[in-house]
């Protein structure tokens, strides 16, 4: 089996990955264990750290998970020709707006941001 090699991404490279994609995988912490779902997002900043904005319905399993634990881990991918860049962002979700029957908007401020470039093994 070929070895998968990687290199750590710099902080600016991690930000480039966040700018290059529009979908993240969001891992919520629920009573039944982790819950992973793809979600569209918008990238913002608090002036220093990246801020991720997510929208979702105001009912359902994601909201139930947030009622138990506000921690989230978000994964972002940006593929290249012979590699894929993967960035993980960890933070706590805060509700920005709650509109009846319109859903909720969350923001997640990056408490931890790291990434790796994985080189695809040669055939």
Let me know: does 41 contact 17? Beta carbons within 8 Å.
no
Q: Which residues are 78's β-sheet partners? A: 85
CATH architecture of 5-119: Roll (2.30)
What is the C-alpha to C-alpha distance for residues 108 and 118, in angstroms, rounded to an integer?
A: 26
pLDDT value, residue 97: 65
pLDDT value, residue 48: 86
* Whether pLDDT at 101 is above 80: no
Structure tokens at 75: 């994964």
- Mean pLDDT value across residues 37-42: 95
The percent of residues above 90 in pLDDT, for the chain, comes to 65
Mean pLDDT of the chain: 90
pLDDT value, residue 120: 77
* Whether pLDDT at 36 is above 80: yes
pLDDT value, residue 34: 92
């Amino acid at each position: 089996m070929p070895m998968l090699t990687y290199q750590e991404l710099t902080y600016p490279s991690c930000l480039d990955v966040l700018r290059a994609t529009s979908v993240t995988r969001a891992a919520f912490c629920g009573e039944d264990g982790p819950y992973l779902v793809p979600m569209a997002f918008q990238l913002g900043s608090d002036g220093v750290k990246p801020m991720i904005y997510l929208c979702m319905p105001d009912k359902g399993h994601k909201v139930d998970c947030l009622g138990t634990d506000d921690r989230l881990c978000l994964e972002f991918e940006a593929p290249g020709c012979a590699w894929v860049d993967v960035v993980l962002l960890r933070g706590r979700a805060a509700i920005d707006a709650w509109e009846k029957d319109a859903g909720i908007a969350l923001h997640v401020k990056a408490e931890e941001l790291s990434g790796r470039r994985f080189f695809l093994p040669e055939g």
